[in-house]
Amino acid sequence: MARLQLDFPDDGFYYSTLMTVRATDINAANHVGNESLIAMVSEARARFLHEFGVPETEREGNGIIVTDLAATYRAEAYRRDELLFDVGVMDFNKYGGDLIYRITRPRDGKLIAMAKTGFVFFNYQSGQVCGMPDDFRARFERVN
């Protein structure tokens, strides 16, 4: 089976946020567990969307839903490591696109992981996928 490869353009990242690896993020092998890294990616997504005023959920309108997730792990991260999550967007379509993530350890510049989450805009009132808002597309269009 072919290995998954994630390569993203450097100009596709619009936002960065730091997170510290907690003791509860460590698995039996004494490094960050898969489920903890995915939870951190979800937190980075929430911070990115909040920064740009995009609701994840809306009781009276549109938000987003995650449609898929892919991750590649390049190095281990350990308890108390500070990790930098660069977040961006690419591969727009009528309904959504991909949020992309580059996770590094600033202390030594080590690439820890790359990830992407597919997303679509979703009307929570009607329960249906809806088109990408024009203002969202216009804000990030230069890389798509």
Report yes or no on 5 lying in a domain: no
Tens of pLDDT, residue by residue over 102-114, are 999 999 999 999 9
Residue 47: is its pLDDT beyond 60? Answer: yes
Give the model's pLDDT for residue 80. Answer: 97
Structure tokens at 89: 């967007």
Report yes or no on 16 lying in a domain: yes
Q: Look at the chain and report how many structural domains it folds into.
A: 1
Domain that holds residue 39: 10-143
Residue 60: HSE in the Cβ half-sphere, 13 Å Cα cutoff: 0
Report yes or no on 114 lying in a domain: yes
CB 104 within 8 A of CB 81: no
Q: What is the pTM of this model?
A: 0.92
Residue (of 97, 15, 95, 23) closest to 62 by Cα position:
95
Give the other-Cβ count within 10 Å of 64's Cβ.
22
Tens of pLDDT, residue by residue over 66-79, are 999 999 999 999 99
Average pLDDT over residues 125-141: 89
Give the model's pLDDT for residue 140. Answer: 84
Report yes or no on 2 lying in a domain: no
CB 110 within 8 A of CB 75: yes
